[in-house]
Amino acid sequence: MREVIAAIFIIIGLIVFLLSIFGIFRFKYVLNRIHAAALGDTLGLGAIVVGLMIMSVNFFAAAKFFLIILFFWLSGPIATHSIAKVEILTNKNYEERVREK
């Protein structure tokens, strides 16, 4: 039963990664692409690592997997924000793209 639940989490994570890839290729503007990549990365990686935590029989291995999730949940939004800020500061057409028509 544990393997089935872990497999469901891992498959959900892979589906989220796949949908994130489609979002990256579908959107035209870089900030929308960053948003799709960041959400897919955080949710997909979280689901896969939770599946691996369920599969692990050792408490210390599960604790390491939890630290991996924690690290990515703390560093992912910071990296995404940094990339978005660079795009805003270096793109000369930013004001035209953001302005409502």
Q: Which pLDDT belongs to residue 98?
A: 64
Counting residues of the chain whose pLDDT is more than 90, the rounded percentage is 46
Q: Which pLDDT belongs to residue 47?
A: 94
| Residues 2-23 pLDDT 10s | 999 999 999 999 999 999 999 8
The helix/strand/coil state of 27 is coil
pTM above 0.75, yes or no: yes
Whole-Å CA distances, 85 to 23, 34, 74, 82: 20, 11, 18, 5
Whole-Å CA distances, 66 to 19, 36, 55: 24, 24, 13
